Structure 1
Amino acid sequence: MNHRFYIIDDDKGVRRVLKNIIIQYDLGIVIGEADNGKDAIKDIQALDPHIVLVDLLLPGLDGISIVTEIKKMKCAVNFIMISQVTSKEMISKAYTMGIEFFINKPINVVEVISIINKVKEKLNMHEVISSFEQAFHNMSMLKDYKSNIKIPTVSERDRIKKVLSQLGILGEAGSNDLVELLLLILKQEDTEKNGLLNRKLSELYKMLNKRYQNDHKTSCNIGAIEQRIRRAINKALKNIANMGIEDYGNEFFIRYSNTLFDFKEVRKQMDFARGKSNYGGKISIKKFIEGIIVELKNVF
């Protein structure tokens, strides 16, 4: 299991050190960071990290207040507190509020690795227990299953269209190109699929154009295909940003803002839509395509 980390500290140097330790020692992936509690709480709700490393003393909301707020939201997050504070009373309060462990500053690499591994062991144990519980539940459900009930199958084309519909771009001109391109990739074996995803986008567009020629006897300009796809994904970014503005807890915003886009770019687009910035977010066509493939594999 690749554990997701979020770091909260008003010292950029500390955040950088912690991030480097997590990456260098292959402890997981860092999906976000913040220098204040307000932004952190919003991000944690949207990104759903497994482990949060949070400084005790922060401007505005302190670390204990952040932990308290997140716990109220019933988010399944494990907290590791970081601080120079040696007060037994404050440390005791932090543990009472729900932190798992406490790391003292200045940062010690060995201590950070040891504590993170302890939290990961706890998470892995919970996962094993949950899998056993789910297995027993499934066995119980199986007894009541009626063999004459037929479960309708859903085609990959319809599954892709469902995602594009949730993003609000099914009617865009580039949506059909995205559907056909994704089907082209999904029909390959896993090894060939990975090879396709590692190719340049221009090569994928050429393959898609060749498919149009063979299957539909039509030919498209490669540049036109690229522009249609780019416009459709840009529209999806705008729609996701608007979902987040209207409701930060929106199901599709939470699901897609970090899997199909870079979350930092989504936030830029949100600021642009609010009139707080002159520049909107940027898209990565490769990340969008890879994200939908992962989404189809994991969700449906």
Structure 2
Amino acid sequence: MSIDFYIIEDDKVVQNILNRIIVKNNLGDIVGSSNNGMKAIDDIKRFNPHIVLIDLLLPKIDGIKIVSAIKEAGCKVHFIMISQVTSKEMIAKAYNEGIEFFINKPINVIEVISVIDKVKEKIRMSEVIQSFENAIKGIQSLSEYTSNRTSKKYGYKDRIEKVLAQLGILGEAGTNDIVEIILWLIEQDEDTEKSIRKYKLSGLFKHLNDRYNKEYNISSNVAAIEQRVRRAISKALKNVANLGVEDYGNEVFIKYSSSLFDFREVRKQMDFARGKSNFQGKISVKKFIEGIIVTIRNEI
């Protein structure tokens, strides 16, 4: 399972030990580390890692306040606290603020790996449950959406959102970015399936960022847009794969498993959902966008 880690530890030796444990045992990717609490808060909001390994006692701002600040910001981060503190009151306070596990120093490699594996399993199960909930919401949204339409020839935006609803990601943060990118590509060239190949993804994301700033006065950045888009498409892949696991003859699975994704990657995601593999499927942003464009043009 691909997991992003962030380490907050003022002891460089301990920081390096945790880094080696994660890398050597293929537990995931380290997206950042810091011995500065305020910098760590900014980094976590930016990178949105899955798991944060955090010391309780830090200069200027302690670990509990960092956990509280991140939770208040709405970031869905899982915290594992690693400290030599033995005070039951302090540990209880840390749990109340939202940490998942508390590990005592000195570092025990087996314990760290075991705890991380438990948190990873919790994350995996949460994602599976969420994907089913999103799929159900998507079906409900599509039903409401269809019943309110008296004509099949509605606008491009409506047709794009219809596809996103079928995929169960209409409410995801990156879906608006996907809609805007496709609408802009359609504006540029009627032969949109070919025109997307003219652009680099970085160029599309930069254009969208400029458009948000100029037309809507919305402050964003290219990296944030790309992250939102990739997360939304990854969620769509998980939803489609889960539908295939439940029913290989599901219409949404049949329609989109190969048109919006590489089917080999869908199979990988299905094996992951069944617990047969530790590797998830990968996405192609361009194939996904091109597939939606082909789909909506065929509906005309």
TM interval, shorter chain, is: 0.5 to 0.7
Matched, 1:164 2:203: yes
Q: Per-residue CA shift, 1:102-124, capped at 9, x if unaligned? A: 01111000100111111111111
Give me the whole-angstrom Cα distance separating, in 1, the residues matched to 2:9 and 2:284.
Answer: 31
Aligned residues: 192
SS where residue 101 of structure 2 aligns?
strand
Give me the whole-angstrom Cα distance separating, in 2, the residues matched to 1:3 and 1:298.
Answer: 23
Q: Would the aligned equivalents of 2:8 and 2:55 in 1 still touch at CA under 8 Å?
A: yes
Shift of the alpha carbon at 1:255?
4.1
Q: Which residue of 1 aligns with 2:117?
A: 117
Q: Check 1:87–1:297 CA distance in 2 against 1; reply closer, same or farther (3 A cut).
A: farther
Q: Which residue of 2 aligns with 1:9?
A: 9
Letter of the structure 2 residue corresponding to residue 250 of structure 1: S
Q: Per-residue CA shift, 1:72-115, capped at 9, x if unaligned? A: 10001010101000000000000011101001111000100111
Shift of the alpha carbon at 1:38?
1.1
Give me the whole-angstrom Cα distance separating, in 1, the residues matched to 2:96 and 2:18.
Answer: 24
Structure 2 length-normalised TM: 0.56
SS where residue 74 of structure 1 aligns?
coil
Letter of the structure 2 residue corresponding to residue 95 of structure 1: Y
Give me the whole-angstrom Cα distance separating, in 1, the residues matched to 2:12 and 2:287.
Answer: 37
Give me the whole-angstrom Cα distance separating, in 2, the residues matched to 1:94 and 1:156.
Answer: 54
Q: Which residue of 2 aligns with 1:222?
A: none
Alignment of 1:6-85 (within 5 A): 6-85=6-85
Shift of the alpha carbon at 1:142?
3.5
Give me the whole-angstrom Cα distance separating, in 2, the residues matched to 1:130 and 1:140.
Answer: 15
Letter of the structure 2 residue corresponding to residue 56 of structure 1: L
SS where residue 74 of structure 2 aligns?
coil
Give me the whole-angstrom Cα distance separating, in 2, the residues matched to 1:103 and 1:157.
Answer: 53
Structure 1 length-normalised TM: 0.56
Shift of the alpha carbon at 1:24?
1.4
Q: Would the aligned equivalents of 2:101 and 2:115 in 1 still touch at CA under 8 Å?
A: yes
- Aligned-residue identity in percent: 49
Aligned-residue Cα RMSD (Å) equals: 3.3
Q: Which residue of 1 aligns with 2:265?
A: none
Give me the whole-angstrom Cα distance separating, in 2, the residues matched to 1:45 and 1:298.
Answer: 27
Shift of the alpha carbon at 1:138?
2.2
Structure 2: gaps (5+ residues): 161-181, 183-191, 211-217, 230-282, 293-300
Q: Which residue of 1 aligns with 2:224?
A: 254
Q: Check 1:297–1:91 CA distance in 2 against 1; reply closer, same or farther (3 A cut).
A: farther
